[in-house]
Amino acid sequence: MSRLVIISNRLPVTINKKDGELFYYPSAGGLATGLSSMDKSIEQLWIGWPGGNIEDKKEKKEIKDQLANDGLVPVFLSEKDIELYYEGFSNKVVWPHFHYFTQFTNYNNHSYWSAYERVNNKFMEVLKEHLRDDDVVWVHDYQLMLLPALIRTFNPNTEIGFFLHIPFPSYEIFRTLPWREELLEGLLGADQIGFHTYDYMRHFLSAAYRIAGFEHNFGKINVGQRIVNVDVFPMGIDYEKYAFPERYLDGEHFENTISRLTSKGRKLILSIDRLDYTKGIPQRIKAFEKFIKKNPQYHGKVTLLLIVVPSRSKVDQYQELKNEVDTLVGKVDGQFRTFGWSPIQYFYRSFPFQELTAIYKAADIALITPLRDGMNLVAKEFVASKEVSKKGVLILSEMAGASNELTDALIVNPRDITDMEEALEKAMEMSLEEQAERLTKMQHRLKKYTVKHWAETFLTELSQMSVLKSSNEINELNEDSKFQLLSDYKNAKNRLILLDYDGTLVSFKPEPHLAKPDAEVLALLEGLRDSEANKLVIISGRDKDTLGDWLGHLDLEMSAEHGVWRFQKSNWELAHGITNSWKKDIRPVLEAMVERTPGSFIEEKDYSIAWHYRKIDKALGEKRIREFRDVLLYLTANLDLQVLEGNKVVEVKNSGVNKGNATLKWVNSSDWDFILAIGDDNTDEDIFKALPDFGYSIKVGRDKTAAKYSLFGVKKVRALLKELVEIKVT
């Protein structure tokens, strides 16, 4: 099997220096815990920052050698890196912005962005020293969003996965970030991008399309010649570890801790979070205060165990938050405390695993109400801890990613104090039968979808993407195929060349009239026309007047409106049996679509009408098509018309008229010994199907096609035509 290279901001080991001596500690956090449970038979290498600022060369070598024994590779960061890249761009720009706290986002510190670029490149330089050709690289989280593209540039064939452990914001929020395009470009260097929830995935796909122009089909994005898979992979926990912690710990100490917590017989409400403005800690203290005020019968019978883990204590917002929490705790304590009862037990510190799992076991209610959270594994850990007792109630914020899975929790709006207070009342009064029923349902899911399952599913799907790419490989016109095409062209005496216009010779423009041919296109067409062996034909959906204005002077043969009109010997001929009397019935339907869809527009041709939605969101355009499809199909069936769906356009025209029928007239008009057809959308498929077996057909783009070959983009089409023009027949 391929080696797995994991890259994250932090290694699973943290190094601290005290009195000149280096100390190694396990890193806290779900990622380190989760990936440590993966199948050990897979060879792994983990690259990341070991913590602290190590400058001494001897110490760096000592650390490298020590960590290498465990398959770990350090990336050493300077104090400046830590200040500007980690505390700066990562935690003062990306973190607040992606969590919807834009008031805390620093949009104007470009030294932060420079440091972010520099450190992502620093990670790349370390990876270069270790990367093998067959490695699978898995990059993690918001600190390294530029890294996938850097890896792709260094080694285009590397299999790359990326997972974002925090929310991805809506397009309207993401678009305000000055570095939005660079971040998207960085992420799209991956073969697969994973998110915790469908909402985050949907937001990313919307941003990729509306900012960078990348469309997707069921979560698969075409990026140049690559397909990027975007999917949902909810992260789980090591269920057994939290369901049966006594198996991993000193059982006696564990039980003593539980006894101490439950000795006074009070209901225990647990709130545990890192100190962060995204966690909603002040709101839950206020909700508890309201609960105590409203329910005096619970005075002395319930305690809020408030655990706040220190974080980013040097940042102003966090210092202010700490002061606010301290003040609120003091207020509630001052109001309700009695000689034998303190309503809130407040701890501003972290707890080791042994004590933390004992607290989970002892708690009757978990109050987990972040204002915004990528997943929140604490909620899952609490539920798992009730595996044996089946006693306990989880109150969970609807803004936590975990709420999509733990639907049997009491789901609350974390900004609605009354909603949380009422949930506390319901939790206190919930029967043991209902508690057991809710917990059992949630535990069933958590047992199945563990962190090991999460990692294996992500990597399996990444591997399948690689297989899919090879099995569905588009037959690109490679050098060998092109050599044969050019050779056949050179040796032929009677050639037919059929070219679509929009999307083939000229890129799509916001307005159809902006796609006027430039000097290069005109020169290519003239060059192909001037060869005595060539018959050059433009087959387009354009109206005849536009084609005539743009290309009529070139003395070419043309087909307009998908075969309605044929241009030969300087005259336009109308196909047999064509009428346009039906347009009065269809026009109101398309006008209604325009009225309901600002930014779309109608293009009326002699014998067809097209509704364009190239300037609006593709999803909205497709929604409108679905809404009006039944009406259009009913009308067109009665009027002997057909509906064509092209590239962000719907066109209604006479039935039986298409580019394929137009093509056959030219194909059957002579004994050709070389035929070439190039087109880009669904309407051009009829051209490809009409060619004889010896003809060369080329699709522009990555879509499935009846064409023999594909080219990726207008530039490559022009390059091929230039090579044809340059061939001199002897």
- Pairing relation of β-strands 601-604 and 571-574? unpaired
As a whole number of angstroms, the distance between CA 522 and CA 528 comes to: 10
As a whole number of angstroms, the distance between CA 346 and CA 282 comes to: 13
State the residue for tokens 């000795």.
263
As a whole number of angstroms, the distance between CA 454 and CA 460 comes to: 10
Both tokens of residue 110?
Answer: 């470009």
CB 708 within 8 A of CB 475: yes
Q: How many CB atoms lie within 10 A of CB 532?
A: 8
Looking at residue 3, the DSSP 8-state letter turns out to be: P
Both tokens of residue 591?
Answer: 């006008």
Q: Which of 238, 500, 502, 681 is catalytic?
A: 500
- 538's CB contacts (< 8 A; 6+ apart) are 499, 500, 501, 525, 547, 551, 556, 557, 558, 559
As a whole number of angstroms, the distance between CA 44 and CA 238 comes to: 19
**Distant-in-sequence contacts of 53-57, Cβ < 8 A, 24+ apart:** 53/77, 53/78, 53/79, 53/82, 54/15, 54/17
- The gap from C-alpha 518 to its chain's centroid, in whole angstroms, comes to 36
CB 697 within 8 A of CB 707: yes
Task: Report phi then psi at 612, rounded to 5.
Answer: -100, 135
Find the distance separating the first CA and the last CA of the chain, reported in whole Å: 55
Task: Give the amino acid at 5.
Answer: V
Angle CA 207–213–216, to nearest 5: 75
Q: What b-and-e string marks burial along 682-713, b requiring 16 or more CB atoms within 10 Å of the CB?
A: ebbbbbbebbeeebbbbbbbbbebebbbbbbe
CB 452 within 8 A of CB 30: no
Task: Report phi then psi at 95, rounded to 5.
Answer: -60, -55
As a whole number of angstroms, the distance between CA 567 and CA 611 comes to: 25
Number of H helices, E strands in the chain: 26, 29
As a whole number of angstroms, the distance between CA 59 and CA 67 comes to: 12
Known catalytic membership, residue 500? yes
CB 269 within 8 A of CB 304: yes
- 553's CB contacts (< 8 A; 6+ apart) are none
Both tokens of residue 573?
Answer: 């001929």
CA distances from 151 to 183, 194, 214 (A): 14, 17, 20
CB 521 within 8 A of CB 714: no
Q: Where are the alpha helices (DSSP H) in 552-614?
A: 583-596
Classify 349 as helix, strand or coil. coil
Burial of 95 (0-12, 13-18, 19+ CB in 10 A): buried
Task: Give the amino acid at 365.
Answer: I
Task: Give the amino acid at 537.
Answer: V
- Pairing relation of β-strands 302-309 and 344-347? parallel
CB 676 within 8 A of CB 497: yes
Q: Which of 5, 95, 86, 28 is nearest to 52 (CA)?
A: 86
**Among all residues, which ones are annotated catalytic?**
500
